[in-house]
Amino acid sequence: MLASMRIQPALDHDASMAPNFSGPSFRPLYDQIKILLTQSLIAGEWKPGEAIPSEMELAARFQVSQGTVRKAIDALAAENILIRRQGKGTFVATHTEPKHQYRFLHIIPDKGEKVHPTTNFIDVKRGKASAEVAGALDLKNGAPVTAIRRVLVFAEVPIILDEIVLSSALFPNLTIEKIRESRGSIYSFLETSYGLRMIRAEERLYAVAADNAAAHHLLVAEDTPLLCVDRIAFTYGDKPVEWRRGLCLTQGYSYYNELA
Amino acid sequence: MLASMRIQPALDHDASMAPNFSGPSFRPLYDQIKILLTQSLIAGEWKPGEAIPSEMELAARFQVSQGTVRKAIDALAAENILIRRQGKGTFVATHTEPKHQYRFLHIIPDKGEKVHPTTNFIDVKRGKASAEVAGALDLKNGAPVTAIRRVLVFAEVPIILDEIVLSSALFPNLTIEKIRESRGSIYSFLETSYGLRMIRAEERLYAVAADNAAAHHLLVAEDTPLLCVDRIAFTYGDKPVEWRRGLCLTQGYSYYNELA
DNA sequence: GAGTGGTCTAGACCACCCC
DNA sequence: GGGTGGTCTAGACCACTCT
């Protein structure tokens, strides 16, 4: 086998290709390279928005063919972690660019195009993690957290009341002023201020009756049915870093989802 | 270019590869092959559950390399239209196999694993399409439709009240008995009985207060907040063929979604 | 062993972007 | 013109399944 004759093989060509003697694991080369690329992203070797080395360079670095690197990058691009731009290069995805600004926002008008909301911040408070938040974010019960409350306004109408909870250890010195200044989405702000990028999220949706606070901020009667969206967002390595609860007034707006 | 020297090229190698003289369209070969495969699926050349020809055979048929066929099949597999099984072949996906039985059902328990519900059918009625349904299914206003009502029961508790509307022209002679007999999911039944497979769906979620019927079937008080899920399901060629409205009691259960 | 999908390679050439 | 990603090919070999 050719690979076994290489000098200083950068990767485990042999073990990866060998029959399955000692265990159920078989890792294709492109998978190993995907992991190496992910580790470089975690280590911050390439920052959000920056270009990573060209396919040829990476192929040389990892001692594999361009096609194998391609397949690794393809997988990361499919997960929205990298972005390919023909003729220019491959870039680390970012929430800062306008196109991906509200990538995770699934609330859209019943009719017409997706609309970008404006944000009214209510307050930013420090507190202790509830059992629910601590469980979601892998924190100790009572760990210090920062909670952001805000209202998302669509076409002059308040539609979503959000509470966003972050570990104060991971995101120190958050203030309402800094967030306001940043403009753009929260994730864009966290990315540029703390270098932490959200790559995926899990949501759970259910119906609730509006409580006093929700009724007040969304300008509806108490007990109005609201769509409640709980979210946990993850950064590289499937590390949960944000807990969020959104209360949505689904009158003229709804949560859109595609199933495949 | 080699392709241009082939005898009786089955595909538009040249035009597809030529510079962009007359128009903005550039169709890679694998894309054209993907379309051809889709057309064969629409035509019923291979039925759900059956194997399609091997990659080598298809490569010979289309006069392209195996790699190009692979890329076309990869795309269809990513859309859950085909299923690859190493060592066995590539198969037309089906809702009948247990693993994909409830692929589109996103309601799961707040805690614990995904559960498969049991179904209680209420009635099957013939009627005329409302403006909403007609618009969703590309039917004329008042076109004949068949409506199925049912309750999905999770762990002995009724959780979802569904109304499913189908064109009577496309799905003739639907009766509650036939549906009951079929067991398994509705999509599995429609697939085997009418040869029509759902490949994707769009959903819109919002919160409502339980009306009299919902309260009755879900055993809750009127005005209990419910999660309402409107769905339009599509078959090959993005043709809408099912309209559905589900009212879900989100107590102990919620709608789960992953964002990437 | 024969047949299927899956991996990896090497090389040619195209499309796109920027200098 | 030179660099980047994108397409296509041909061939070798591996992993899996069935007979």
Q: What does the DSSP assignment read for B73-91?
A: HHHHHHTTSEEEETTTEEE
What SS3 class is residue B130?
A: coil
Residue B201, strand partner residues: A259, B233
**A1: nt with nearest C1' to CA:** D13
pLDDT in tens, A147-181: 999 999 999 999 999 999 999 999 999 999 999 99
Gap between the Cα atoms of A178 and A198, Å rounded: 19
pLDDT in tens, B227-239: 999 999 999 989 9
Percent of chain A's residues with pLDDT above 90: 86
Q: How confident is the model at residue A13 (pLDDT cuts 50, 70, 90)?
A: low
**A59: nt with nearest C1' to CA:** C9
What pLDDT is stored for residue B14 in this prediction?
A: 46
Cβ <8 Å between B207 and A104: no
What pLDDT is stored for residue A64 in this prediction?
A: 98
Q: Residue type at A189? A: F
What pLDDT is stored for residue B90 in this prediction?
A: 98
pLDDT in tens, B205-219: 999 999 999 999 999
pLDDT in tens, A115-149: 999 999 999 999 999 999 999 999 999 999 999 99
- B240, pLDDT greater than 50: yes
Strand spans (E) along B135-224: 144-154, 157-167, 200-209
Query: B98-255, what's its fold?
Result: Chorismate lyase (3.40.1410)
Gap between the Cα atoms of B148 and B178, Å rounded: 12
pTM, two decimal places: 0.91
Cβ <8 Å between B258 and A209: no
Q: How confident is the model at residue A18 (pLDDT cuts 50, 70, 90)?
A: very low
Burial (0-12, 13-18, 19+ Cβ within 10 Å), B29: buried
Nearest to A203 among B110, B253, B257 (CB): B257
Gap between the Cα atoms of A205 and B108, Å rounded: 10
More confident residue, A7 or B224: B224
- Averaged pLDDT score across all residues of chain B: 91
First to last CA, chain B: 40
Going by C-alpha positions, the residue among B198, B192, B243, B228 that lies closest to residue B103 is: B198
Residue B240, strand partner residues: B234
Q: Under a CB-based contact definition with an 8 Å cutoff, are residues A202 and B246 in contact?
A: no
A29 CA from C9 C1′ (Å): 12
Q: Residue type at B25? A: S
Percent of chain B's residues with pLDDT above 90: 86
C7: residue with closest CA to C1': A28
The token pair at B57 is 């055979």
Nearest to A204 among B204, B230, B256 (CB): B256
Gap between the Cα atoms of B149 and B228, Å rounded: 15
Gap between the Cα atoms of A116 and A63, Å rounded: 45
Minimum CA–CA partner of B209 in chain A: A225
Chain C nucleotides covered by protein, CB below 7 Å: 3-11, 13-18
- Averaged pLDDT score across all residues of chain A: 91
* Dihedral sign from CA coordinates of A41, A42, A43, A49: positive
Query: Chain B: nearest CA to A249, how far in angstroms?
Result: 8
Cβ <8 Å between B255 and A205: yes
Q: Under a CB-based contact definition with an 8 Å cutoff, are residues A221 and A70 in contact?
A: no
3-state SS, B204-245, equals EEEEEECCHHHHHHHCCCCCCEEEEEEEEEEEHHHEEEEEEE
Q: How confident is the model at residue A32 (pLDDT cuts 50, 70, 90)?
A: very high
Nearest to B202 among A80, A202, A258 (CB): A258
Going by C-alpha positions, the residue among A200, A209, A260 that lies closest to residue A231 is: A200
Interface of A with B (CB under 8 A): 79-80, 103-104, 106, 110, 199-209, 223, 225-228, 230-231, 248, 250, 253-260
Gap between the Cα atoms of B154 and B83, Å rounded: 29
Residue A121, strand partner residues: A150
Query: Chain B: nearest CA to A233, how far in angstroms?
Result: 9
Residues of A in contact with B253 (CB under 8 A): 206
Going by C-alpha positions, the residue among A254, A199, A209, A207 that lies closest to residue A227 is: A207
Distances (CA, A) of B243 to A251, B127, B230, B254: 21, 14, 8, 21
Query: Chain A: nearest CA to B242, how far in angstroms?
Result: 14
Cβ <8 Å between A206 and B79: no
B158 CA from D1 C1′ (Å): 69
What pLDDT is stored for residue B13 in this prediction?
A: 53
D13: residue with closest CA to C1': A1
